[in-house]
Amino acid sequence: MTSQTHLDNKALEELEKQYDSSLVTRDNGPLLSRFIYWSMIAFALYHLWTAGFGTPVDHVHMGIHLAGLFLFIFVGYPLVKTARSLEWRGASILSPGNVPLFDWALAIAGIGAALYLWFSWRGFTGFGLTIPEQAMRQGNPTTTDVIFGTLLIVAVLEIARRTIGFILPLIISVFIVYALFGPYMPAQILKHPGVNWQQFVNNMYFPSEGIYGVTLWVVSTVVFHFVLFGVVAQRMGLGQFFVDNAMILAGRYTGGPAKVSVVSSAFFGTISGSSIANTVSTGSMTIPNMKKMGYPGHFAGGVESAASAGGQITPPIMGAASFLMAEYLEVPYTTIVIAAIVPAIMHYVGVISIVHFTAKRLGLNAYPKDQLPNFMKVWRDGWHTILPLIALLMVLFSGYSPNMAAFVGMVLCIIVGFCSFNKPATMIIPLAFLGFIFWKASPYSGEGYTPVMAGILAALTIMSVLHRKERQPMRELFDSMHVGVQYALAVGAASAAVGIVVGVINTTGVGFRLGFMVTGGAQDIANALAPWLSWTGIEAFSQSALQQFFSLVLIAMACIFMGAGLPTTALYIMLVAVATPALTQLGVPPLATHMFVLYYGVISEITPPVCASAYAAAGIAGANPFRTGLSAFTLGVGKLMVPMVFVYAPTMLIVLPEYFTITSFLQVTLSCAFGIFAIATAVSAYFLTPLSAWMRWVMAIGGLLLVAPSVSSDLVALAFMSPVLIQQVLASRKTAAVSA
């Protein structure tokens, strides 16, 4: 196996910093840098402890989480990110640790506002203040509440701006203005009585909605843990194991490097919460190999970014949105995972089909056999790295909480990668974990592990200790935790800020108003088109069918635009709050509604001009970023069409019994896969032999008809494509005869 297939943690970290601005922080000098480093480790360990041993009440835990975000972001991220503001400029009274005094003031104000609810919950008397307990202040906040609430709102918007840019704070500011000035809205449908600032702060600051709502709660209790697990697991060796197995599975086939990219990104997506991290980790190896084999740079980058962005919709983690979805819908987590399996497969069918036919057209071959890893060697050297993922999934699918699953996975990552008999002090961790397992299985722990689960986890722990492979130093573990916290900062900041949007929607009902606007606009379009199409007699061209279709198109476009540049969890939260009412009015099942907005939201990852993962891939490929984004968008055609399919035919989601039958599921799923396959030939200009322009149009239209979930459209599609299919078979036979 060549060195190009080996993951180097330090090199990857530097590469990720080039393309993920959320990892680039200012130089704080040696003293403050050490303090922030170890504070992040403590922050990670606090969340790990609460995952296993119980989380404090919501306002306490979320307050601690927010306080950490304020400290790390205001100290690490300058007001305006420039080369000068990031570099070390020496110690100064006006800038201790290279942090201006106003950033220190913002950090202290934000931390105070985040922890204020904790200290004032039971009431407070002192310093000339008399604050009643929180239950007495709900709906009637004191002046102190309003001051701290205002500070919190401003600080949350600012940390969101510093980590992910101005787009999200700008959108949120529009919602704030709408909440405050409802009576003065120009459109009658948008008008509402409005709220004053005191009531607005009450709704945004006190728990149950707003900033301290379910959004921040799920992120601080589940999402953070899985982001941390993904980083530690990858650096512990699981990422390399995924890449090696992808080489074994796909490297031997036509266009090997590109197929390795797709398969390895799909594997990596099961543990990664970041499409940029996915792109950089696997793309640093696969993109150079694709270019060496003959793929154009923009296409190589597009393959990697499209496959990596698919990780955000790939079970079991789905960019951590799956946990939020389960919380919102109040359904078991396993329901979300099962529902997401087939749509995710459709995305990868599209990417790998385009890759295959493009390789055929360009005459690209597989990897040489001497460059492929040996199956036995890969599994002999790397079997232990998959133990934490097995344990995590077993706990998760056995009905335990997601944070307990993350706790088990994280601890086993530490045991597998960093604990050995050669380092006696490290053996405290596996021994303590075995004690934890047996305590959870005892009758004294309350709701604990079953004997079977305890036995399995104990066996996995022992296996994790006994493997003979080299362990990494504990410093590598701390470095991994540090990077994991850095990844989680942007997600946490965005989720806290998006809580304001959720609060405004709950306060004003604007979601339903926007829903009426969307359906009203779609109705106008349908009314204009229906007379021109009604002569066909086709049900799909009726006024009601056209209205539903254009409503879905408008909502999908809104999701793509509003999701641009946001972390997966943040965009999902915001889009669900805004778009769900409109889809509900169309009679779409709730699960299909949530999956719909998630899919179209994450398409922004590969949609120019804002397509972060495509830009990262372009940087590695040395290609034009915009052209790489277009290639990624084209390769993601499956992700673009599948949401429409499961909205019209929810049988694809499997878990909705009122829609699911084996016959309907097979018809919809297989015809969709063949449709995506046909569209892939049109995009690649190749099937069995090269396709001319008219043939590509025929295959594209036929593919769309196959994707449409209808038996009649499938039959029309087959008839429509038959001339091209016949021509391709004859041309292929002729080519084979000439070659013989």
Domain C-terminal end among 206, 241, 271:
206
Q: Per DSSP, what are the bridge partners of residue 124? A: 131
Please tell me the predicted confidence (pLDDT) of residue 5: 46
Please tell me the predicted confidence (pLDDT) of residue 432: 93
Q: Per DSSP, what are the bridge partners of residue 131? A: 124
Please tell me the predicted confidence (pLDDT) of residue 14: 67
Please tell me the predicted confidence (pLDDT) of residue 564: 67
Look at the alpha carbons of 685, 689, 695, 700 in this order and tell me if their dihedral is positive or negative.
negative
Contact 450, 441 (CB under 8 A): yes
Residues of the chain under the 70 pLDDT cut? 1-22, 269-270, 272-274, 319-320, 445-447, 534-540, 563-565, 608-612, 740
Q: Per DSSP, what are the bridge partners of residue 126? A: 129
- Which amino acid does the sequence have at 698? V
Q: Per DSSP, what are the bridge partners of residue 686? A: 690
Q: Per DSSP, what are the bridge partners of residue 494? A: none
Taking only the tens place, the pLDDT of each residue in 400-458 is: 888 888 899 999 999 998 888 888 888 999 999 999 998 888 877 666 788 899 999 99
Please tell me the predicted confidence (pLDDT) of residue 16: 67
The DSSP output letter for 442 is: S
Please tell me the predicted confidence (pLDDT) of residue 11: 65
Cα dist. 700→355, 666, 681, 721 in Å? Answer: 16, 22, 8, 9
Contact 620, 283 (CB under 8 A): yes
Domain C-terminal end among 173, 206, 239:
206
Please tell me the predicted confidence (pLDDT) of residue 2: 40
Contact 714, 672 (CB under 8 A): no
CA dihedral 502, 508, 511, 514 (to 10 degrees): -140
551: in domain? no
SS3 of residue 713 by DSSP:
helix
Please tell me the predicted confidence (pLDDT) of residue 708: 86
Report the distance separating Cα 133 and Cα 136, nearest Å: 6
Report the distance separating Cα 106 and Cα 559, nearest Å: 32
Contact 403, 217 (CB under 8 A): no
387: in domain? no
Angle at Cα 75 formed by Cα 38 and Cα 492, nearest 5°?
A: 80
Contact 575, 562 (CB under 8 A): yes
Contact 478, 235 (CB under 8 A): no
One DSSP character per residue, 357-395 reads HHHHHHT--PPPGGGSPPHHHHHHHHGGGGHHHHHHHHH
Domain that holds residue 679: 669-740
Which residues fall within 8 angstroms of residue 374, CB to CB, at 6 or more apart?
Answer: none
Classify residue 575 by burial, with Cβ atoms within 10 Å: 0-12, 13-18, 19+: buried
148: in domain? yes
Please tell me the predicted confidence (pLDDT) of residue 234: 80
178: in domain? yes
36: in domain? yes
How many domains is the chain partitioned into structurally?
2
Taking only the tens place, the pLDDT of each residue in 576-608 is: 877 777 788 778 888 998 888 888 888 877 776
The DSSP output letter for 219 is: I
Domain C-terminal end among 156, 181, 206:
206
506: in domain? no
